[in-house]
Amino acid sequence: MRPLGDTPLLGLLLASSLVLSAPGSPRVSNLKNFPYVLGTEPPPISTSNSTNTTNPLWPWTHYLPPPSLDPWYAPPANWTSSAPGTPLKIRRHAYPTLAIRNAHDTFQVLYRSSDTHGGPSWAVTTVFIPTSHASCPQSNCSHALVSYQVPTDSASVDAAPSFLLQAREPYGEMRDLLARGWFVAVPDYEGPSASYCAGKQAGHATLDGIRAALAVAGDFGFRSAGARVGLWGYSGGAFATAFALELAGSYAPELRISGGAVGGPAPNLTTVGELMNGRDTAGLVVASVVGVTKQHPHAVEFLRGRLRDTGPFNESAFMAVVNMTGVDALEKYARQNVYDYFENGAADLWHPVVQKVIDGDAVLGRHGAPRGDVPVFFYKAVADEMSLVGETDALIQRYCEKGASLLYHRNQLGGHNDELWSGRLRALDFFSHVLEPDDGSKKMVSGINLTLPDRGCLTQNVSVPLDVLELLPDWWWTG
């Protein structure tokens, strides 16, 4: 569930006392020597609790190690007694090397969250501080934070954004948010087990990431009083964002959200899986089924009991996805019929045991709707080939019947990948509307007048052409 292409870091669409790490200063990356070999099985997890930055399993001091090798990715003692959203650890100046334009510095927060079942879990958010904020407190202190859900699309803990964003960002959206002077928080919303497509886990971790980031951002000069908060995600990131918006009213009713942007959503994992099977996207079917069932051990046991023992399409080959990034899975399983891995084909993969898990944890619209006081911008290509537009139309109608306030753009031009680029400027204009004071300082860049209803819903058919040269991230030219 992410845009496809031949970009270098496709794997991004591809962790109750407060513990502070030692400060340091980031250096600017030349993007040439990021040392991690994507898709390789990581060495055994280090069990050291030392705060020494020298790690014999990870000698590259200019980059943080992957989560499986980083002792920092572990909650402190008695963490389960804290409330969801409680910061448990802070890592100041988190990235030794910064590779994202318009970012002045980073910090990371490990925080208490909740899994799909509401039990104690934890996650990590990485917060990027804009370069304009460097002059704070004298001037330009940031007043807005956008939680940006990167499409992770992987069931591997080492494909977490908190690690891979050290190399570069995939699309330039973070660059553009930072250019507007806003903090950008990127949660590892799949949680400590990399539960890809577990919607409630993702929604909880996203909301708790905002709680945790806001709780400590004031220590970094953020103007916490009257702060404005946005959520944004496309494709796989839209899945986490939409679940967060659905759950916010019941799970985080105190959280003041100024607006959310949801692009290219895929409301139903089952129907999306059927569309992607046998195509170049088949690897995401494997990753999603493995990821969502991680929250449901009985479903994992069932699936493993139905996978074939012999032949090229066997259990070992199927479960190997837990050591792959999204791009690795796309390459490994490209154009395969995923049903061939199972003794009874599709009947096993979509068996009621698995289907019940998907229906309860990977289908949008069943856990509430965005609150009526939170404006939401949905955008999707009518010809989206990864998720039928009719399913999103039905989801919007369901939200509206439950009192949501939203603007829905149905783009008549392009497909799933195109709308990633075509919708971005409209999303940025939306955030200018909801995050900036109405003082004439808003920067509108899309050339399209966004009509945001005060209450209720508005659906518009638009025709926005793809202008990729306008939108390509900086590393396209320099990487």
What pLDDT sits at residue 442?
A: 65
3-state secondary structure the chain: CCCCCCCCCHHHCCCCCCEECCCCCCEECCCCCCCCCCCCCCCCCCCCCCCCCCECCECCCCCCCCHHHCCCCCCCCCHHHCCCCCEEEEEECCCCEECCCCEEEEEEEEEEEECCCCCEEEEEEEEEEEHHHHHCCCCCCCCEEEEEECCCCCCCHHHCHHHHCCCCCCCCHHHHHHHCCCEEEEECCCCCCCCCCCHHHHHHHHHHHHHHHHHHHHHHCCCCCCCEEEEEEECHHHHHHHHHHHHHHHHCCCCCCCEEEEECCCCEHHHHHHHHCCCCCHHHHHHHHHHHHCCCHHHHHHHHHHECCCCCCCHHHHHHHHHCCHHHHHHHCCCCCHHHHECCCHHHHCCHHHHHHHHHHCECCCCCCCCCCCEEEEEEECCCCCCCHHHHHHHHHHHHHCCCEEEEEEECCCCHHHHHHHCHHHHHHHHHHHHCCCCCCCCCCCCCCCCCCCCCEEEEEECCCCCHHHHCCCHHHHC
pLDDT at 159 over 70: yes
Residue 56: C-alpha distances to residues 61, 65, 166, 396 (Å): 11, 11, 20, 51
| pLDDT tens per residue across span 173-202 | 999 999 999 999 999 999 999 999 999 999
Q: Which residues are catalytic?
A: 235, 384, 416
pLDDT of residue 47: 38
What is the tens place of the pLDDT at every residue in 423-469? 999 999 999 999 997 755 566 788 888 888 888 999 999 999 987 65
Q: What is the pLDDT of residue 46?
A: 38
Q: What is the mean pLDDT of residues 228-247?
A: 97
Distance CA 438, CA 211 (A): 26
Tens-digit pLDDT profile for residues 299-355 = 999 999 999 999 999 999 999 999 998 989 999 999 999 999 999 999 999 999 999
CATH of domain 270-361: 1.10.260.130
Given this model, what pLDDT does residue 29 score? 45
pLDDT at 17: 37
Which sequence spans correspond to the domains of the chain?
1-32+61-267+364-479, 270-361
Per-residue pLDDT at 43: 41
> Stretch 7-21: mean pLDDT, rounded?
35
CATH no., domain 1-32+61-267+364-479: 3.40.50.1820
Query: Which pLDDT belongs to residue 11?
Result: 31
Say if residue 25's pLDDT is above 80.
Answer: no
CA separation for the pair 210, 187 (Å, rounded): 8
- Kindly tell me if the per-residue pLDDT of 472 is higher than 90: no
| CA distance linking residue 454 with residue 373, whole number of Å | 9
Would the pTM count as exceeding 0.85? yes
For residues 411 and 48, which has the higher predicted lDDT (pLDDT)? 411
The per-residue pLDDT for range 276-308, each reduced to its tens digit, is 999 999 999 999 999 999 999 999 999 999 999
Q: What is the mean pLDDT of residues 408-428?
A: 95
Which has more confidence, 156 or 61? Answer: 156
Specify the range with the lowest mean pLDDT, choosing from 26-30, 378-382, 443-447, 469-473: 26-30
